[in-house]
Structure 1
Amino acid sequence: MRIFGEVVKAYWDGKMKDIKDLNELVKKVKEKYDFQDKDIPFIKDHIRIAMGLNPKGDKDFQDELSIVKNSKEIKEPIVAKIDGVCEYCDDEDCKCVDSCKYEAHIYRRGKGPIIENNKCLSCGECVTKCDFGALADKIEFIPLIDFLKDENTIVYAAVAPSIVGQFGNDITMGQIRTAFKILGFKDMVEVALFADILTIKEAFEFVKLVREEKDFYLTSCCCPVWFNLVKKNYPKLFEHMPPSISPMIASSRFLKRLYKDIKVVFISPCIAKKAEAKEPNLRKDIDFVLTFRELREIFEILNINLKELPSDDKDQASFGGRVYARTGGVSFSVKTVVNRLEPRRLIKLKAKKVDGVKSCKQILDELSLQKDIDYNFVEGMGCNGGCVGGPRTNIDVEKATKLVNEFGEDSLIMTPFDNANVMKILRQFGIRKIEEISENNEVSKLLNRE
């Protein structure tokens, strides 16, 4: 993050214009952080990672700046390996060996880890476990700076529900909104608002699909790790998963339909969201993805003191939409709407909530064996605790969960069904009653994957 901060400062101040400036930055980082000459390839590669580019080892800087200037998106893979770093690791039981949760094995071979990107779920566990910086996720802020400074480009910040408390207990969402505007964003929107819309959609689908005791439903709309785990490894169970997009994608699709020629940046604690934004059928929905850790460094290096800012507060989402951030939030939210749609329903929504890839695999294995189950709605979250336990959070899971619950309770809107902001948006698509959400072709297209 410190190297990223130096890159941000130099680019923001217009002091990164050619190869000479990049080499000067390497020299500055080396001296400021007590690196040695042998560490220069490491510094160069982390400068490239900070610019959203692939590492190249000790190769001279060439066209990196022109790529960034002309870049409209960051290319895959999201998680990259920095060569040479593992030579300095003398830990025989290196954490990266077992860090990957049962899916894409990252293991020691020769001079470093091998990443099997065809299996990788981009959960980011390996990145956070490596103390040496041998594994890193590309950062998408540098190409975004040019858009933020362009008076003709409108950029919105779409923040995940888990953002509350990430920048200090006493920092309000209104102060964070003000900080985004200082950076050049037009405004900040709560992605929880679009979680409310998807909750209503999933509630209608549950009512439609779960009609008998043997029926069950796998929610798809929140976690890309959970979604891809099912899609790649459990094709039969995937048939029980609706084609709903995530709240992240929904936020951008609706905003871009309502406001033409804009950019939308999603901010969350999740590395997997960077990969989700690059899926072929979702590409161009979200323009850039930043993490809370990256945003904290941006605020610090650009001297944006959140405590000193005025609070520009707006109440956009319901309690149900805001608690999507923690385990059980999706289930709770969908259940409140199902109960409103069919209060006398014989087949009640009985949720099974699991978090962490190990638990997700266990529940999917159980379903695959067709054992007797006592639930009909399955919510899976790839990170322990849900999104609040993501790899790029700034605070611990317990504290984050507590703050998310409190922020949800602060909302004047209890359930998605009661959210007037939802109807305000849907009316712009010709929807007059909430029941029409699944019948409107334009809205259905916005809320579904191809």
Structure 2
Amino acid sequence: MTENREIFQEKRMDIFRELVQSFWNEGIQNNSDLENLAAHIQNKYEFKDKDMSLIRNHMRICMGLDPRGDTEFSSELSDIKSKKISPPIAANVENPHESDKHCNGRCKYEDPIYRRNNEPIIIDNKCLSCGYGVSQWDFGAIADKIEFIPLIDLLKDKNTPVYAAVAPAIVGQFGDDLSMGQLRTALKLMGFTDMVEVALFADILTIKEAFEFNKLVKSKEDFFLTSCCCPVWFNMVKKSYPDLYKKMSPSVSPMIASGRVLKSLYRNAKVVFISPCIAKKGEVKEPDLEGAIDFVINFRELKEVFEALKINLKDLVPDDIDQASLGGRLYARTGGVSFAVKTAVNRLEPTRVIKLRAKKVDGVKECKNILEDLRNGKDVDANFIEGMGCAGGCVGGPRTNIDVDVATKNVNEFGEESYILTPFDNKNIMKILENFGISDLEGIMENEMMVKLLTRE
């Protein structure tokens, strides 16, 4: 089974890479071009004639579309032009009916002092949309839609600003010897206006959750559930533990915050989240969050894009800058949110009698266990509960390129390299707040517009 899954992913990425090259070089102009590409894929990768339906449907999914059974291509090109990926995030392939060089636009969210150089399938309401079920199926069964092909025209449109909002877990995913500055350069070569660390928005939400903790945890019996980062953790609490949901922070995830804020700063901007996670593709389509993020591309998909476009990151001049603090960057791994919020709480109220005592759990099983303990009134010796659906946190996501232990080490080192120690020291935050007429950090909780941007409805 494991071998079959590996073969599936390899062949699926082969199909995706062929599509990227063809669409990027404008080799797909009509349905006949799609049919010719399907025939080319069949011959190149030694598929059988009976596999043509499977090839077409995997091509559709790699274009962000739903499979259509045993049919030839018809309206696919016009569907791609809609620039919108419809739910569900995954599809049953066999039976679809069942299921310039330097951007000057950074000024609104970056302080120049940090510059370092001058140059599962939805079965019922209990599904957590974690994405791990997708990666467990053999070739020809179930796959998550890839959202890059509809993005290509936007990247080539000089009149549309497109921002790459990258998850904190991205560091080291494309090679140990590659800097984040080289990754920024690569993305800008592709047509992105700029690359923005989502960890910057984690910094903002850290401060928000610190204020909320101080307000809500007043006694030894009180506890607070963070809602940051993980849609699996959030969905588990909301769907299966509604009695505990009232203890959860109303904050949106750093990903959603990044999209909302960037679109408020830049008119007509598009925001693409680059992620280790399949579940994020579902989160951005939730009714109360829809519109913040336009597309989600995962690390494995982006690696294929770089290869298809022959972008060699090692050859690129880095464009390095610190956007986020140590704490914000540590959101990528288990315990990172707790570390950041505890640091912020201690900074806000150093003489606080009830100290923040964190409990960090990862993996669906451990998340469920801690929630059962809380529901049953068991003493968990903590008043701040952090849950991550993936073992190790986001660095253990299903669409990462490297081992979770190596990724954790990379994240820790990258966080420690930041010139910004805590969110309170991050002048980029004040740069953002000034655009909303906010002069101090308390405005995160008091400014009507900022509260709306950072809070779930």
| TM over 0.5, shorter chain | yes
Shift of 1:115: 5.0
Shift of 1:117: 5.2
1:82 corresponds to: 93
Whether the 8 Å CA contact 1:54–1:80 is kept in 2: the answer is yes
Instruction: Classify the secondary structure of the residue corresponding to 2:27.
Output: coil
Tell me how large the CA RMSD over aligned residues is: 1.3
2:429 corresponds to: 422
Quick check: 316-325 or 117-126, which moved more?
117-126
Compared CA separation, residues 84 and 249, structure 1 to 2 (3 A): closer
Distance 1:449 1:243 in 2: 6
Distance 1:371 1:400 in 2: 34
Amino acid of the residue matched to residue 132 of structure 2?
A: E
Corresponding residue to 2:47 among 13, 20, 35:
35
Quick check: 409-418 or 206-215, which moved more?
409-418
Q: Does 2:368 correspond to 1:361?
A: yes
Distance 1:271 1:117 in 2: 18
Corresponding residue to 2:170 among 163, 174, 177:
163
1:242-261 aligned at under 5 Å gives the runs: 242-261=249-268
Instruction: Classify the secondary structure of the residue corresponding to 2:26.
Output: coil
Distance 1:200 1:427 in 2: 16
Corresponding residue to 1:380 among 379, 387, 410:
387
What are the ranges of 5 or more consecutive residues in structure 1 without an aligned counterpart? Answer: 86-105, 107-113
Aligned length, in residue pairs:
422
Distance 2:378 2:269 in 1: 49
Corresponding residue to 1:224 among 225, 231, 235:
231
Corresponding residue to 1:206 among 204, 213, 223:
213
Whether the 8 Å CA contact 2:125–2:239 is kept in 1: the answer is no
Quick check: 434-443 or 291-300, which moved more?
434-443
Instruction: Classify the secondary structure of the residue corresponding to 2:361.
Output: strand
Amino acid of the residue matched to residue 13 of structure 1?
A: N
1:110 corresponds to: none
1:170-185 aligned at under 5 Å gives the runs: 170-185=177-192
Distance 2:323 2:243 in 1: 38
Amino acid of the residue matched to residue 79 of structure 1?
A: A
Distance 1:171 1:237 in 2: 42
Distance 2:52 2:243 in 1: 49
2:28 corresponds to: 16
Compared CA separation, residues 434 and 115, structure 1 to 2 (3 A): closer
Deviations 1:277-299 (A, max 9, x none): 00001111101110000000000
Whether the 8 Å CA contact 2:373–2:379 is kept in 1: the answer is no
Distance 1:206 1:151 in 2: 44
Instruction: Classify the secondary structure of the residue corresponding to 2:399.
Output: coil
Compared CA separation, residues 293 and 133, structure 1 to 2 (3 A): farther
Quick check: 35-44 or 388-397, which moved more?
35-44
2:102 corresponds to: none
Q: Does 2:357 correspond to 1:350?
A: yes
TM-score norm. by structure 2 comes to 0.91
What are the ranges of 5 or more consecutive residues in structure 2 without an aligned counterpart? Answer: 1-12, 97-119
1:22-421 aligned at under 5 Å gives the runs: 22-69=34-81, 71-83=82-94, 116=123, 118-421=125-428
Instruction: Classify the secondary structure of the residue corresponding to 1:16.
Output: coil
Deviations 1:22-60 (A, max 9, x none): 110110101111111111111111100001011122211
Deviations 1:251-310 (A, max 9, x none): 111111111111000001111111000000111110111000000000001100000111
Instruction: Classify the secondary structure of the residue corresponding to 2:271.
Output: strand
Whether the 8 Å CA contact 1:77–1:117 is kept in 2: the answer is no
Distance 1:185 1:37 in 2: 39
Identical-residue share of aligned pairs (%): 66
Whether the 8 Å CA contact 1:122–1:225 is kept in 2: the answer is yes
Distance 1:301 1:250 in 2: 31
Whether the 8 Å CA contact 2:164–2:195 is kept in 1: the answer is yes
Whether the 8 Å CA contact 1:220–1:244 is kept in 2: the answer is yes
Whether the 8 Å CA contact 1:79–1:122 is kept in 2: the answer is no
4+ long deviations beyond 3 Å: none
Amino acid of the residue matched to residue 88 of structure 2?
A: P
Shift of 1:133: 4.5
